Every structure is written in C-alpha cells, then in structure tokens.
Amino acid sequence: MALGAFINAIQQDLMFSKPTRICDTLPKPERRAIKQLQKRVDIVIKPADKGSGTVIMDRDWYINECLRQLNDNKYYERQAKDLTNRIQDRIIEYTTRLFNEKLIDENTYKCLTSNPNPRAGRFYILPKISSSFYLKMTSVSKIKSFCA
C-alpha cells in the first residue's frame, strides 16, 4: 500500500512538474573547448566508471581495445545471428511459469515481460581510473532494461 502511494506520488510529480532551467556555469572559453573536442573524430570521450570524471582516449586505441576484449573467447562468444528475441521468449516462458506457480507477483511478471521491442545490448568500454591514476579498461554490456 505504501509502495503504491509512493509510485502514484512519483507519477504525479513527473506528469505535472515543470522542468527547472539549468544555469550553465561553465565559462565560455571552456564551453567552446568542449564543443571543439566533441567534433573531433580522432578521440573518444567517455565518463569514468566512478565519480564525475571524464576521460579522453585516442579513437584507434579505443577501437583496438574493444576488439581485443570482444575477441577474448573466455568472456564472449560470436553468434551467427541476433538471439535477442529468442532470449526474450525464454524469459517470458520462465517468468510465466514462476507467476503461475505464485513465485513472483504480478508487478514483477509485468516488469519482466512488458518490453515488446527488445534490442541487443551495445558493447562499450569505460575507463576505470584507480587511486593511483592509471587507466584500466572494463567491458560493460548494457542492455535496455525490461523494466524501463
């Protein structure tokens, strides 16, 4: 009951609140520099894995690192075709069984089965910066949430 009230309050806030204008406090020369960096095709700009840092990497190095990780058969396996719909069918099958056996509630069931257009995850890597300030790379496969 309390969860339902909370969800309703959030929905009301989202539907009727007006976005507040965000003031840009970045000095104009820095804003111009950022825009110039974003236009460059020889670099990749990514957020660091933690904190509010940003990392600029050489594009060729970034692509080679992605390929190196994707070619590591210990973690990744090449597929002949996109298996996303097949996986979604299995998720629906399993969650339906769990729901029918009353092992998950209706909200959980709907959350796990409500995405009519699943998409394959996108592969990207995020720079991982340790306390000693050297770069390590971590692979992340991001898949659009079924509960979006």
Give the pLDDT confidence of 1-53 residue by residue, as tens digits: 566 777 777 777 777 777 777 778 888 999 999 899 999 999 998 887 776 77
Q: Is the pLDDT of residue 60 over 80?
A: yes
By C-alpha distance, which of 109, 77, 108 is closest to 92? 109
pTM of the model: 0.59
SS3 39: helix
Beta bridge partners, 135, equal 129
Contact 129, 54 (CB under 8 A): no
| Interacting residues of 58 by C-beta distance below 8 A, sequence separation 6+ | 42, 43, 44
- How high is the pLDDT of residue 131? 56
Query: How far is Cα 103 from Cα 84, in angstroms, rounded to an integer?
Result: 25
Question: Reduced to 3 states, what is the DSSP secondary structure of residue 8?
Answer: helix
With 0-12 CB in 10 A as exposed, 13-18 as middle and 19+ as buried, what is 127? buried
